[in-house]
Structure 1
Amino acid sequence: MEQTLDNIVKKNLKPEDLKQFNRIHYGREDHCELKLKESTIKKCHEANIEVAGYYFTANREQIRDPRYVKVGVIQHSIVQPTDKPLSEQRAAILKKITNVIDIAAAEGVQILCLQEMWYMPFFLCTREKDKWAEFAESATEGPVFNFLSPIAKKYQMVLISSILENDNGTWWNTAVVINENGQYMGKHRKNHIPSVGSFSETSYYAPGNLGHTVFNTKYAKIAINICYGRHQALNWLMFGLNGAEIVFNPAATISEFGESFWGIEARCAAVANSYFTCSINRVGTEVFPVIKDGRKEFITRSYYGSSYITAPNGHRTPSLSRVRDGLIISVLDLNLCRQMKDQWGFNMTSRLDMYAEKLSQKKET
């Protein structure tokens, strides 16, 4: 269904009541919308893409200048049915995403994050592996990297690409960071692997072994907390301790698995760790024909989109649609990260020594 919380509230509240709702729910009375180009709005309308722009300000300082960065996140559906040749499925998605990246670039986006496993259907619910193995590829030499690298260089844009990585026969759920020159900057591997309901991801790839890397890009210090990792508070914490200013959470989550707390977890993490969070969830319905006990059956999974961005003071944007492709563009003043640390003193009062002692005792027992 298209209904979102924003639509329901707007239809049923008077203007003054709406301001109060926005203040309490979003942290500010208005959404601080960015003025987007007419060409952007036109192109998105023609492609049936929802587009929204917002900005987050920090207090003006006497000595330090603002540290503005413009980020973008894309949620999208697959294009071809899942029984089409894999090359056709991937090519159709790449074509779609090229158009959206071009639009984001025209608006001056400097860091852009794509959703989890963005270039393929999320087949991990099928329990089938061999037929999808060609989607697993090298982080540095695979077709997806070779596709994105020249785009990053063309637009001087940092790109975050979630892939199914094949590293010498071992599979990983990996986010690759490509810098503004189109060069491989590094990768993060998903630390926490779910086996929940039909999503038996432990059958496909290993838990991450790269820790909690923060990438010092030209525009900001960024990290990637992939999908299921958002349920782990210490996962968010470690990115903050390592100096992240923006943490992206590319995801693929269906409504049966936590839509009620989708809008809470990353927002709480932003407040607790004094950084920005960008939550990206895929959208659309994916139908997989599978053979079970000699009979053809269908597995259907619908994703609820609802991507959004949160600031370290808890202010957040409205969510994108639950059912449509979408692009959020947002200007962030990174000074807000340090200002919130200074105001709340979470790092100074965190008592990590006490937690570490208890965790060490638990490990020993």
Structure 2
Amino acid sequence: MSLDKELDSVESLLQKLPEKDLKQVWRILYGDGVRDLELSEKCLKLVTRYKMELVKCKFSYKEEQLRPPRLVRVALFQQKVPVPLTFPIYKVKTEMYTLAMDAVKIAAKGGANIFCFQQAWNMPYAFCSGESMPWSEYAEKAEEGATTRILQTLALENNMVIISTILERDENFEERIWNTAVVIDNHGIVLGKHQRNHVPKVECSNEPTYYCEGNTGHPVFETEFGKIGINICYERHYPLNWLGLALNGAEIVFNPCGAIGQEAELLWTVEARNAAVANGYYVCAINRIGMEIYEHEYEDEQGNLVHHEDSGLFFGSSFVSAPNGSRSPGLSRTKTGVLIAEFDLNLCRQVKDRKGLELMHRLPLYRDLLSKITATNFKPQVIKKHCQCQTT
């Protein structure tokens, strides 16, 4: 399908409703805790100059008597590959770096404290194509690679934490490749990294061809702008992965993705929003956009041709969800854009105190369940109806 015929966004349809109806429908679908965010003229001029979409909002908050508000602004950036995939790798990366610098400038002028890219942002999402070359050549060192060095400079210059999900080449471990999120603090220092825990091995997904499942656990990175965790793409399908970040103290969880397909789009807002409510933190979900056209037809895991050369449509729709269930408007399904959202981290504790879910967590109960399930002699706890038959 032509991208010109694709629906731009759900929000664009809602705006066609009469004002009275729009207010009610918006409250039901999004909550009533989000308002417009005023940004500087310099920020708005950059948006026009770089021809990007901008969504801006702030979440309402209640001031406490003893703690001052802990206001944070996050910026989410979704983009498509701006050149054909037959271009040399250095050319693709250069174009992506240029887009990144433009987006970071917009975010900086918009007062953003934390900036997060989509998954594997500096390359095409080639992990389902079945071809190792040239796509594995995009892999680079997490802490010292060219991408990280460029972002370190931008982070320092703009006093901004930057989260960058890349293809990592681990030269210290058999040249192994990982799908890794690098966290760079606002002083330009690599704070750490998270290697993706869950890698899909279903249908024509060939991601295990490229990288392994990580073993970094569920790290939470303490920054000057809050404690942040990263849940990479497919990890969003696992409630325990979200929970692991909550138990380690996350206040904001970023979910950089490359999601396509009708089923994924149906679940897109449900999973992230539910995770925010269930775990008492903010969730920032970032997805790619566009349709990537490859030179060769895809192959499945058995090496059979799948008879298509396109990735399918990455449907964008990046958004932020709060622990009280309210959510921001989303970015477009088809346009490169930046979302800037402001919120108060104090809301995390306020929601927990009000709902009391953590008081009734019963973690030892689930520890025992998981211990039993992972044992070799596990038998499901199923109670069956007993039939007492009379013998004649």
SS in 2 for 1:223: strand
Give runs of aligned pairs for residues 13-52 of structure 1, distance below 5 A.
Answer: 13-28=17-32, 31-52=34-55
Amino acid at match of 1:8: L
Report if the CA contact (8 A) 2:53-2:331 is conserved. Answer: yes
Per-residue deviation at 1:298? 5.4
* 1:353 CA displacement: 1.2
Residue 263 of structure 1 aligns to a residue in which SS?
helix
In the alignment, what sits opposite 2:57?
A: 54
Q: 4+ runs of 1 displaced by more than 4 Å?
A: none
SS state at 2:255 partner: strand
Partner of 1:173: 179
Deviation, structure 1 residue 6: 1.3
Secondary structure in 2 matching 1:290: coil
Partner of 1:234: 240
Per-residue deviation at 1:257? 4.5
Secondary structure class of the residue paired with 1:247: strand
Offset at 1:35? Answer: 1.2
Of the three residues 345, 349, 359, the one matched with 2:370 is 359
**For residue 91 of structure 1, what is the aligned residue in structure 2?**
94
Q: Secondary structure at the match of 1:55?
A: strand
Residue in 2 aligned with 1:82? 85
Q: Hey, what's the Cα distance between the residues in 2 that align with 1:18 and 1:31?
A: 14
Pairing 1:4–2:14 present: no
CA contact (8 A) 2:30 2:328 kept: yes
Question: Which position in structure 2 is the counterpart of 1:223?
Answer: 229
Task: Give the structure with the larger strand fraction.
Answer: 1
Coordinate RMSD, CA, aligned = 1.8
CA distance in 2: counterparts of 1:180 and 1:40, whole angstroms: 20
Question: What's the offset of the Cα at 1:44?
Answer: 1.6
- Is contact 1:275-1:311 (8 Å) kept? yes
Contiguous gaps of at least 5 residues in structure 1: none
**How far, CA to CA, are the matches of 1:57 and 1:219 in structure 2?**
18
**TM-score, structure 1 length as denominator?**
0.96
Within-5 A mapping of 1:1-365: 1-11=6-16, 13-28=17-32, 31-168=34-171, 169-290=175-296, 299-301=309-311, 302-364=313-375, 365=378
Count of equivalent residues = 363
CA distance in 2, matches of 1:195, 1:48: 37
Contact 2:155 2:161 in 1 (8 A): yes
Fraction of identical pairs, as percent: 42
The whole-number CA distance in structure 2 between the counterparts of 1:33 and 1:56 is: 9
- Distance in 2, matches of 1:71 and 1:9, equals 25
Amino acid at match of 1:305: G
1:70 Cα deviation from its structure 2 partner: 1.0
Distance 1:10 1:268 in 2: 25
What amino acid does structure 1 have at the position aligned with 2:60? T
Distance in 1 (alpha carbons) for counterparts of 2:263 and 2:108: 33
Superposed displacement of residue 265, structure 1: 0.5
Conserved? CA contact 2:55–2:330, under 8 Å: no
Structure 2: unaligned runs, 5 residues or longer: 1-5, 379-392
Give the drift of 1:36.
1.9
In the superposition, the TM-score normalised over structure 2's length comes to 0.89
